[in-house]
Amino acid sequence: MPLFSPRLTVAQVEEGHALAPKFDAAGLIPVVTTDAATGEVLMMGVMNAEALTRSIATGEAHYWSRSRQCLWHKGVTSGLIQKIVEMRIDDDQDAIWLRVQVAGGASCHVGYRSCFYRAVPLGGVGAPRLVFTESEKLFDPVQVYGDAPNPTQL
């Protein structure tokens, strides 16, 4: 039996019990990942059908890395595995919300707990100056990743 159902009617998608995710033209679906205990947003990523299938099967977060162009088992290199406590899908099944527990407590490859470690001030004049919301890194990326290429693309 296939894991994903075809999208047949609005009622089926919005009110039914069948998982019928809507992937975009690139075959991706956005995923917001939060800490299961605190609700803090840890990261935003994307999944393709394989990443979603593996996440459901293993109970650990898998994503599609747009920068690396490959399947990404979050934390497999760093040991900061995201154990899925709950997976939800939105009303029209085009976005996923993962509530996770993170081994080691951090989700950001830069070393911070959350990938959202800076705030953008509102209402100012001119270019905003980002404000750090986390003051300490939970790990040293150089020690964890060594000479592995940084996934951030310019």
Query: Distances in Å between the alpha carbon of 59 and those of 9, 52, 84?
Result: 29, 10, 5
pLDDT, average across residues 105-121:
91
Please provide the DSSP assignment of 46-72 as one string: EE-HHHHHHHHHHSB-EEEETTTTEEE
The predicted model gives 89-109 an average pLDDT of: 94
Q: How many CB atoms lie within 10 A of CB 58?
A: 13
Query: The whole model's pTM is what?
Result: 0.90
Model pLDDT, residue 153: 74
pLDDT at 1 over 60: no
- What confidence tier does 15 reach under pLDDT thresholds 50, 70, 90? very high
pLDDT in tens, 33-63: 999 999 999 999 999 999 999 999 999 999 9
The highest-confidence range among 55-64, 69-78, 99-108, 111-120, by mean pLDDT, is 55-64
Residue 23 pLDDT > 70, yes or no? yes
Per-residue confidence at 145, pLDDT binned at 50, 70, 90? confident
Q: Outline where DSSP puts E strands in 55-130.
A: 62-65, 70-73, 82-89, 96-102, 118-119
